[in-house]
Amino acid sequence: MILHVVSAIHRAKPDQIIIVIPQGSIQDYAHHLGDFEITFAYQNSPLGTGDSVAVALEHVQQNQDDLIVVNGDSALLKTETILDLKNIHNQEGSVVTLTTARVPESEAEGLGILIKNTDESLIEIKEYSEFKGNQLKGLNQNYFDVNVGLYAFNVPWIKNNISKLVKHTSGEYLIGDLLSIAINDKEKVTEFMSKDMDKPIGVNDQQQLAAAEFELQSRLRSHWLSVGVSMADPSSTYFGIDVQLSAGTFIGHNTALRGKTVVGKGVQVGPNAVIEDSVIADNVSVGSSYLNGVTVGSEVVIENFNTLRQGTKLADRVKIGNHVEIKDSTIGADTFIRHFSYIGDSILGKRVNVGAGVVTCNYDGSSKHKTFIGDDVFLGSGTMLVAPIKIGEGAKTGAGSVVTKDVDAGVTVAGVPAKQLSK
């Protein structure tokens, strides 16, 4: 979830990103956020959002005018909302600008309720949990304006006022109290009601996490449908926020595209496919297979029940049949690997025919070794290639061969161990 939030912030191109985390948790966050330049600030005890901001302020770079504060559980945050908030904050010249949404009471639980005068001017923010009995109903409203946990502050002002926060009965210092301080001091406070925050979901339990994911997927599906991506069943199609698709792509049932996957034009994926952090060129077909960290050239066909792992590169017009695993290997153009094969730590040339059941035996129990296969090689069914090994251009292996030594160009070998038959 934090990755969604940080990605949205990063796309807004801030000068600095500060994340407040508990002591001792740096490895967990660094693992997930390693692609971003982040300053981590440590909160010794969970003393509330106000204390988190106080900790973050110690790390704000010199001469910064504005500070955007985002709740870490703002799973549905959009970059556009951050940019709109910043623009309004600067236009209004406010010391505080807060982002709000208008929701029915059923959606207000767990959020801060805006208490206003009859002229709609803000008095304070009161946490939902602080209303007792029927006090909330006593406000006589069907809808409530709520704080969604996204603020803009004038940096000199917040540095001068953060120490004025007082501890609540919950033992926490709350960032929302800064608005009351500003109002009491007759400073300018602006309310920004964003059209993008119609679902102000904060995540505090598994149900809320599931609700946020459901809403996020709905947004992503709508977006990709609107730009010309076709889906057999949108409700069973899942996207990561950093996925890039092209118009004309067709996605079958029960398919997930994750990470930084990029898909070209005229591509068909699925059904029952999972693609992560892979780049797919134009006019490719991927069936019910799993791809992770794979680069795929144009007009490639990958059929069903295949696993293509990190470091795999398929050149143009490669054909992968069924039940094939490829790992950290480069496959040349027009090469066929039809079925029941394992290709690991290998480089295959062009127009290679890999028969059923071919295995590159790349691990000797302690180290991985490379296999090199030249252009126009024919590997008979059930061939075992014991690495490290090189197969020259145009060479052939008989069915069931166990090849333990390099094979020269144009040579045919067969047997266990394989021996030369002709030249």
- Burial (CB count within 10 angstroms: exposed 0-12, middle 13-18, buried 19+), residue 285: middle
Shortest CA distance to 294 belongs to which of 323, 320, 265? Answer: 320
Active site residue 339: yes
Taking each helix axis from N to C end, the angle separating 79-92 and 2-11, rounded to the nearest 10 degrees, works out to: 50
* Sheet bearing 268-269, strands edge to edge: 230-231, 250-251, 268-269, 285-286, 301-302, 319-322, 336-339, 353-354, 378-379, 396-397, 412-414, 419-422
Phi, psi of 197 (to 5 degrees): -105, 40
Among the options 4, 223, 339, 369, which is catalytic?
339
At which residue do the structure tokens 């730009």 appear?
A: 227
Contacts of 166 (CB under 8 A, 6+ apart): 173, 177
The token duo for 28 is 């967990």
The whole-angstrom separation of Cα 163 and Cα 415 is 82
Q: Look at residue 31 and give its three-state secondary structure.
A: helix
Q: Which of 385, 393, 397, 391 shows the shortest CA–CA distance to 372?
A: 391
Q: Specify burial of residue 84 (Cβ count, 10 A radius: 0-12, 13-18, 19+).
A: middle
User: Are the CB atoms for 109 and 128 separated by under 8 Å?
Assistant: yes
Give the torsion sign (CA, 11, 15, 21, 23): positive
SS3 content of the chain, % helix, strand, coil (to 5): 20, 30, 45
3-state DSSP assignment of residue 166:
coil
Active site residue ranges: 339
